[in-house]
């Protein structure tokens, strides 16, 4: 039983931990990767059930260190995907977030990079805008007393500070484009920053859009918040 518990818990953590890197490096497609995650949860639950059987019926022969390690692996294997599912239920199933929902900033240089992306470069539309207004009402156009050049420099520096890949920085157009790659699965999400002025104030809009997936688990909104906070810290 001890060996079986160890093997099942090890299988569970591998099924959860490996799909991300395997997808990231092009070894596994996204569908099979998510299937592996699901089976990792099943294996983790099975390992926890076997541990419970050990604790009830085979207590005298238990190796507490081995049981502890197996339990940790199984809990992580179950907990990580379940936390992702919980996050998915708490945010709208959208992947295109913008501070301007009437006239979202448009990608320019990034268009070519998204040529093969499942999610098209065009804005997702009014249904997405409606869900965003309900979920993220605070994400609106940002206003600054600084001139556009100062704001542009702060935005570009903030993107570099955040470690995103700078794709395009056109000060004459007030346009900055960048790509952020997530750590575990290596998902690429694209960001465009638009800076304009009325002569008295400078206006900053940010749009963040995932290349794949229906729901972004709130990542694009978090990314916009992070960039706004980084910019604000420079003034």
Structural Rg of the chain based on CA atoms: 23
- What region does 117 belong to: left with phi over 0, alpha with psi -120 to 50, or beta? beta
Contact in structure between 179 and 191 (CB atoms under 8 Å): yes
CATH of 96-232, one of 3.40.50.2000, 3.30.530.50, 3.20.20.140, 1.20.1440.230: 3.30.530.50
The answer for 17, left when phi > 0, alpha when psi is -120 to 50, beta otherwise, is alpha
Task: Report which of 85, 87, 80, 79 is spatially closest to residue 218, judged by C-alpha positions.
Answer: 87
- Please state the length of the chain: 235
Q: What residue spans define the domains of the chain?
A: 2-90, 96-232
pLDDT of the chain, 235 residues: tens digit per residue: 889 999 999 999 999 999 999 999 999 999 999 999 999 999 999 999 999 999 998 888 888 899 999 999 999 999 999 999 999 999 999 999 999 999 999 999 999 999 999 999 999 999 999 999 999 999 999 999 999 999 999 999 999 999 999 999 999 999 999 999 999 999 999 999 999 998 889 999 999 999 999 999 999 999 999 999 999 999 9
Confidence (pLDDT) at 20: 97
User: So what's the pLDDT on residue 120?
Assistant: 96
The Cα-based distances of 88 to 1, 91, 220 in angstroms read 36, 6, 13
């Amino acid at each position: 039983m001890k060996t079986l518990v160890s093997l099942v818990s090890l299988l569970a953590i591998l099924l959860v931990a490996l799909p991300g890197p395997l997808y990231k490096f092009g070894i596994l497609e996204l569908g099979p990767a998510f299937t592996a995650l699901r089976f990792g949860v099943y294996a983790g639950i099975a390992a926890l059930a076997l541990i419970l059987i050990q604790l009830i019926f085979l207590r005298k022969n238990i190796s507490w260190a081995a049981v502890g390690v197996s339990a940790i692996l199984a809990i992580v294997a179950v907990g990580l995907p379940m936390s992702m599912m919980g996050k998915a239920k708490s945010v709208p199933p959208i992947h295109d977030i913008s501070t301007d929902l009437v006239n979202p900033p448009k990608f320019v240089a990034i268009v070519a990079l998204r040529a093969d992306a499942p999610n098209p470069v065009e804005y997702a539309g009014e249904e997405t805008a409606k869900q965003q207004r309900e979920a993220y009402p605070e994400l609106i156009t940002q206003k600054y007393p600084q001139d556009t050049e100062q704001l542009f420099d702060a935005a570009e520096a903030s993107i570099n500070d955040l470690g995103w890949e700078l794709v395009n920085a056109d000060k004459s157009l007030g346009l900055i484009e960048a790509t952020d790659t997530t750590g575990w699965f290596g998902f690429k999400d694209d960001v465009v920053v638009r800076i304009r002025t009325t002569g008295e104030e400078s206006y900053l809009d940010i749009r963040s859009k995932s290349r794949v997936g229906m729901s972004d688990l709130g990542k694009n909104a978090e990314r916009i918040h992070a960039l706004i906070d980084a910019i604000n810290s420079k003034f």
